[in-house]
Structure 1
Amino acid sequence: MDLDPELAALRPLGGFFVLRTGVPPRAGLPTLERAYVPPVRPAPLDASADPLAFRLRKVVRALGAPEDRIAASLAHQGLAARLWSVALGAAALYGRVPDLDPRLLRWDPDGSAPDDLWLGEVRALPGDSLDAVVREGHLVPLATALSGRHGVSARLLWGNAGAALASSVRMIDRWARTAGRTDVAERARTLAAGLFAHPDLVRTVEPATGRRRTCCLYYRLPGGGLCGDCCFDRPPGRR
């Protein structure tokens, strides 16, 4: 099944799977490549000059994060979930993956799904190119940027990536059972299993339970608790 220009088949799966295509609603949205490369010199804190820093400040303000690395972890997990969902959803439904080259994919760091990502041109890649498209193309440079800027451990970030991938599989499976598309769910599980075999992602999530093996630090927010797939049974330091 060929990719259609609007990737319309992804819409029923939910907002995390939707990828806007065509001309963005406003000029000046940065590419994700811009987000992964720090400015050569200190830049004003705006969405175009330093989109990653802008996003982190937005998370800090919205959630009251007491540490930058908490905001970095949560911002990372949100972007990883978007990228995995779009790519895996397309591979499972179409058998093809849209080219999500960071130079082509525009990001609104002040937006939320599905209006945060825009792809100007839909170009199809093979369905088995998920690793190159998402992990190599996005998650490796994103992890490098966040580790370098905020000291977030690589193990935590790859735990986020594994948890986001597992969540995408669960959402596809839930939709597929309702829609009677067991073939789509099976394809998503098979593709994800191949992705989880990579050293960056292997053992990030317990296969039997879906629980992750690292914590995203959400519990450290004011009033924060544990996520449903958390590695902890209770927040550390609390009885």
Structure 2
Amino acid sequence: MGGILDSTRLCGSPTVVEVFQKVFAELIGSYFLVFAGCCSVVLNNSEKTKGQITFPGVCVVWGFTVTILAYSLAHVSGAHFNPGVTLSLAIYRRFPFKMVPLYFIAQILGSFLASGTLYLLFEVDDNSYFGTRPAGSPVQSLVFELLATFLLMFVICAVSTDKRAIGKLGGVVVGMTVTVDVFIAGPVSGASMNPARSLGPALVMNVYTGFWIYIVGPFVGAILGATCYNFIRHTDSNPPI
């Protein structure tokens, strides 16, 4: 009897509720990030609406969606929506390691559900496939994914973990970075920068062409980006805290 009461108290404790809120926020954010961004891809490439969004439009949709979700959910979960971001922040003690698996599950599940929604709403063919596949050589796509994610993580560290940065504009800056990354990396690698973003469509559509690129590139790029910013963070005018 005592064990049952203890379990009930644990499930209703503020700590458990807070963890659930954070994980649910990550799931919701990951869902709408993938749904909005990939929806723009489908609309731009499908036969019925081909070209209506345009490639610059797709870039803007991804960037604006990140900005909207960052301002909506950053105060709840940190608005990672990306396993590479979550792991990198955990490595540099900006996020608890014990939460990493829960965030990974939420991010991947959100991407999977969003991809499933798009699959049900549209007739997706090879041209309107909304996942990521390398357009260039595997090495070229890998380098683009690594560099694009490096820049994204570098900027995230600057605006969200450094007190010297102007925090109120952080969401705008991160969104602009995503827009620039999609502009330059999109035609080559698809500009995933996010293993969860690539995994969801791959699972739903059963397409795994060059999938390893979208695991290795974003994870390595994010860790390197966080490492470089962590190195320049510790200056004489800004001692380690």
TM over 0.5: no
TM-score (norm 2): 0.32
- Structure with the bigger percentage of helix: 2
Larger Rg: 2
- Structure with the bigger percentage of strand: 1
